[in-house]
Amino acid sequence: MARIGRPETPQRIRFLAKFAIGAPGDCWRWTAATHPQGYDIAARFNVSASAVGLIKRRERWAHL
């Protein structure tokens, strides 16, 4: 059966669209909504633990 409507955007594309990506070496700024107590990435996107780990490592690199 054919699916009606526009095709679903892949999760990776939807996730990366939430960042303002600048020049190489710059930090990626989160531009989507945030929770009052911080970022709510994992709950909204069902991100795997390895992806969250990558984000956390990237945060640490930004402060070095």
The whole-number pLDDT of residue 41 equals 52
Check pLDDT > 80 for residue 23.
yes
The whole-number pLDDT of residue 63 equals 46
Check pLDDT > 80 for residue 59.
no
Total count of domains within the chain: 1
Q: Is residue 3 part of a domain?
A: no
Mean pLDDT in residue range 14-40: 80
pLDDT (tens digit, 9 = 90+) per residue, 27-37? 888 888 776 76
Cβ within 8 Å of residue 22, ≥6 positions away: 28, 29
Q: Which domain holds residue 18?
A: 11-62
Q: Is residue 1 part of a domain?
A: no
In sequence order, which ranges of the chain are alpha helices (DSSP H)? 11-16, 41-45, 49-62
